[in-house]
C-alpha cells in the first residue's frame, strides 16, 4: 500500500507542498513581521541549494528531467517561503524578554524613527492610507522583540486593530 509513497519523487512532492503550505498559512496568521527588510537573498539562496539537492537526488533515482525540474522548484520555493516564517518563529522562541513597547516618531510618510537610536526604523509604506492621518512628529508606540537571531520583529496585531477601527470610521 505504501510502497510507492516512499519513492524520492513522492517524498519531495509531500515535503515541498508541506513547506509551502506551512509558510503561507503562517505568514497569513502570524501577528509578527520583520521590523527591517527580511533577508530575502538568504531565502532565495537556501531555496536554490535545497532545489539543487532535490534535483541531484531525483536524478540519481532516475526521475524524468521535466518532473525533476518541477519538483525541485516546488521544494526550493517551499523552502524559501517556510524560511520566511520559520526565522520569525525561531527568533521569537530564542527571545527571553518578550514583546516590549517602544516609542517612535513619524518622520516622513509612513516612516517612523525610534526615540531610542539603538532600535530599527519602521517603514509602513504599505499602509500609507492609514498613516497619512497623523502629522509628522507625532509619537506612536510599537511592540517589538529582539530574538536570539539578532533581528527585531514588530507585533502587527495592535496596529491592524487600530487600522481596522479607523477604516470602519471608529477612529
Do 114 and 123 form a contact (C-beta atoms < 8 A)? Answer: no
Q: How far apart are CA 10 and CA 40, in angstroms?
A: 28
Which pLDDT does position 6 carry in this prediction? 64
- pLDDT digit string, tens, across residues 54-76: 999 999 988 889 999 999 999 99
Which pLDDT does position 138 carry in this prediction? 95
Do 16 and 75 form a contact (C-beta atoms < 8 A)? Answer: yes
CA 42 to chain centre: 12
Which pLDDT does position 3 carry in this prediction? 57
Which segments of the chain have a pLDDT < 70?
1-6, 171
Do 144 and 100 form a contact (C-beta atoms < 8 A)? Answer: yes
Which pLDDT does position 128 carry in this prediction? 79
For the entire predicted model, the pTM comes to: 0.83
Q: How far apart are CA 160 and CA 102, in angstroms?
A: 17
Residue by residue, DSSP assigns the chain as: --TGGGSHHHHHHHHHHHHHHHHHHHHHH-SEEESS---HHHHHHHHHHHHHHHHHHHHHTT--HHHHHHHHHHHHHHHHHHHHHHHHHHHHHT-SS--EEEEEEEEETTEEEESSTTSPPEE-GGGHHHHTTSPTT-EEEEEEEE-TTS-EEEE-HHHHHHHHHHHTT--
Sheet of 100-108, strands arranged across: 32-34, 152-155, 139-146, 100-108, 111-114, 122-123
Amino acid at each position: 500500500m505504501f510502497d510507492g509513497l516512499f519513492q524520492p519523487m513522492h517524498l519531495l512532492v509531500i515535503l515541498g507542498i508541506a513547506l509551502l503550505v506551512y509558510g503561507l498559512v503562517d505568514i497569513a496568521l502570524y501577528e509578527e513581521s520583520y521590523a527591517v527588510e527580511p533577508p530575502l537573498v538568504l531565502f532565495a539562496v537556501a531555496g536554490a541549494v535545497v532545489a539543487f539537492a532535490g534535483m541531484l537526488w531525483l536524478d540519481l533515482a532516475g526521475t524524468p528531467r521535466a518532473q525533476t525540474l518541477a519538483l525541485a522548484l516546488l521544494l526550493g520555493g517551499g523552502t524559501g517561503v517556510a524560511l520566511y516564517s520559520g526565522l520569525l518563529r525561531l527568533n521569537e522562541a530564542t527571545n527571553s524578554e518578550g514583546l516590549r513597547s517602544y516609542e517612535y516618531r513619524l518622520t516622513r510618510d509612513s516612516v517612523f524613527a525610534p526615540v531610542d537610536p539603538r532600535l530599527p526604523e519602521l517603514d509602513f509604506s504599505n499602509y500609507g492610507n492609514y498613516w497619512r492621518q497623523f502629522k509628522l512628529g507625532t509619537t506612536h508606540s510599537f511592540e517589538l522583540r529582539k530574538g536570539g537571531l539578532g533581528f527585531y520583529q514588530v507585533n502587527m496585531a495592535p496596529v491592524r486593530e487600530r487600522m481596522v477601527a479607523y477604516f470602519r470610521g471608529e477612529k
